């Protein structure tokens, strides 16, 4: 049993709940655009959803729904939010911030004697489990999965003065739901500077996109533009696919990408799973953990340069070549362990090489250049202790 020893618990979750009693319009405005219009969104402590505009206008619509809040509490909440959009010389600038974080959905629960979660919610199992190769579709399913939040709420209990567990009556809890929707035409180049913000891109985007996000998360469908520049720091990144562009991931605790295609990634201290490697990708990494599950039949070239990294990769199903160079690196191939120690002048060695076999279609070349790292190679599945 997990006990929360505080009177009030504020839950900021992405989930659904029944009805809300009071709806407040925070901001609503529209602007005409043309093929040379640009937009800058400056966000702090804000949750936004960006979707495609069908009428060549940018539309801002921000509403918050409240349940079980007094009028005074609603006013105090809204007083902390500042939103303004302006247009100057064909550039649209949005400034949206709040003194406190505004999540998509939040619940405030009063429990004088504490809250608890059932022991099954945090259940751990030390038994070895078989983990299968994940498909691109399964990664995308994980991106859109909200079952954790729903399971958390179902397992949450309040305690009475005798420490007895009782279900939470959410109909009596204070709740709010933020709905800030921005409709953006395809022709508008977008620059986002954000802190402590949750950004969802609801449609496939071909817009030129520049993002600098510190804390929060960025969730997207497919981002396709060779000039995209996206940087996330201490923030989660989840996308069905990324095509073209440069991506910087720093301290990304949860990175899920359905597929990468002609992408340059620079990363540090992150955990990133990629469902499918497509054409011509380059990753440069420091001290991260990567999972490469699948390779397209024409991925052509994949280069990885890393230090202090842990790499998990499954073999391509089509014919391919593989070359692994490095030093002070451990390479696990099934039950075989290959250790390459450093030389005095930090010379790199050829740790492993697989030449093209000439069987079927040649998919591409994989090149790993890894120092002070660990590589795990798998076929269809592998055994791992669940911690």
pLDDT value at residue 352: 82
Residue 206 in any domain: the answer is: no
Residue 345 in any domain: the answer is: yes
Phi, psi torsion values for 71, nearest 5 degrees: -60, -40
Contact residues for 166 (Cβ-Cβ < 8 A; gap 6+): 157, 158, 159, 160
Residue 314 in any domain: the answer is: yes
Residue 313's domain comprises 233-385
Q: What pTM was computed for the model? A: 0.87
Residue 136 in any domain: the answer is: no
pLDDT value at residue 1: 44
Start-end of H helices in the chain = 71-79, 136-143, 147-155
State which of 18-27, 196-205, 347-356 shows the largest mean pLDDT. 196-205
Residue 301 in any domain: the answer is: yes
Residue 175 in any domain: the answer is: no
In percent, the amount of the chain with pLDDT more than 90 equals 65
Ramachandran quadrant class, 64 (left: phi over 0; alpha: psi -120 to 50; beta: rest)? beta
| Beta strands, E only, 226-308 | 229-243, 246-250, 255-261, 264-268, 271-277, 281-286, 289-292, 300-307
Query: What mean pLDDT is reported for the chain?
Result: 85
Burial class from Cβ neighbours inside 10 Å (0-12, 13-18, 19+) for residue 38 reads middle
DSSP-based three-state secondary structure for 25: strand
Structure tokens at 276: 């499918």
pLDDT value at residue 158: 58
Q: Residue 126 — pLDDT band, cuts 50, 70, 90?
A: very low
Q: Calculate the CA 236 to chain-centre distance.
A: 4
Residue 357 in any domain: the answer is: yes
DSSP-based three-state secondary structure for 196: strand
pLDDT in tens, 231-289: 999 999 999 999 999 999 999 999 999 999 999 999 999 999 999 999 999 999 999 99
Average of pLDDT values for 180-207? 97
Picking from 353, 364, 345, 368, the residue whose alpha carbon sits closest to that of residue 283 is 368
Calpha distance 329→192 (Å, rounded): 39
Calpha distance 271→276 (Å, rounded): 16
Residue 147 in any domain: the answer is: no
Helices and strands in the chain, H and E counts:
3, 32
Q: 75 to each of 24, 66, 78, 128, 272, how far by Cα in Å?
A: 10, 11, 5, 54, 41
Q: How many domains does the chain have?
A: 1
373 and 342 in contact (C-beta within 8 Å)? no
């Amino acid at each position: 049993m997990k006990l929360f020893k505080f009177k009030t618990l504020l839950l900021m979750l992405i989930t659904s709940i029944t009805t809300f009693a009071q709806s407040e319009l925070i901001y609503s405005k529209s602007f005409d655009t043309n093929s040379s219009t640009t937009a800058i969104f400056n966000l702090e402590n804000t949750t936004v959803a960006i979707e495609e505009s069908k009428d060549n206008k940018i539309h801002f619509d921000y509403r918050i729904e409240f349940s079980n809040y007094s009028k005074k509490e609603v006013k105090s909440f809204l007083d902390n939010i500042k939103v303004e959009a302006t247009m100057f010389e064909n550039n649209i600038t949005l400034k949206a911030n709040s003194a406190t974080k505004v999540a998509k959905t939040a619940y405030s629960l009063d429990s004088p004697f504490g809250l608890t979660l059932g022991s099954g919610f945090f259940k751990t199992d030390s038994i070895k489990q078989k983990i299968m190769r994940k498909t691109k579709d399964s990664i995308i399913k994980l991106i859109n999965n909200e079952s954790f939040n729903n399971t958390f709420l179902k397992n949450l209990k309040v305690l009475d003065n005798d420490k007895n567990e009782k279900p939470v009556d959410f109909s009596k809890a204070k709740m709010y739901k933020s709905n800030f929707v921005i409709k953006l035409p395809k022709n508008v180049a977008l620059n986002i500077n954000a802190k402590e913000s949750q950004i969802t891109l609801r449609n496939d985007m071909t817009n030129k996109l520049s993002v600098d996000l510190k804390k929060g998360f960025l969730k997207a469908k497919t981002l396709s533009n060779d000039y995209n520049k996206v940087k996330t720091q201490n923030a989660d990144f989840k996308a069905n696919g990324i095509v073209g562009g440069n991506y910087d991931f720093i301290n990304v605790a949860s990175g899920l990408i359905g597929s990468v295609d002609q992408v340059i990634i620079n990363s540090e201290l992150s955990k990133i799973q990629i469902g499918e490697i497509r054409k011509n990708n380059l990753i440069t990494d420091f001290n991260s953990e990567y999972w490469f599950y699948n390779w397209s039949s024409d991925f052509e070239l994949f280069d990885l340069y890393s230090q202090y990294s842990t790499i998990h990769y499954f073999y391509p199903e089509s014919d391919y070549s593989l070359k692994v160079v490095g030093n002070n690196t451990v390479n696990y191939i099934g039950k075989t362990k290959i250790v390459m120690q450093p030389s005095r002048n930090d010379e790199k060695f050829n740790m492993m090489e697989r030449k093209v076999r000439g069987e079927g279609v040649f998919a591409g070349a994989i090149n790993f250049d890894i120092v002070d790292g660990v590589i795990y190679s798998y076929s269809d599945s592998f055994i791992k202790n669940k911690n």
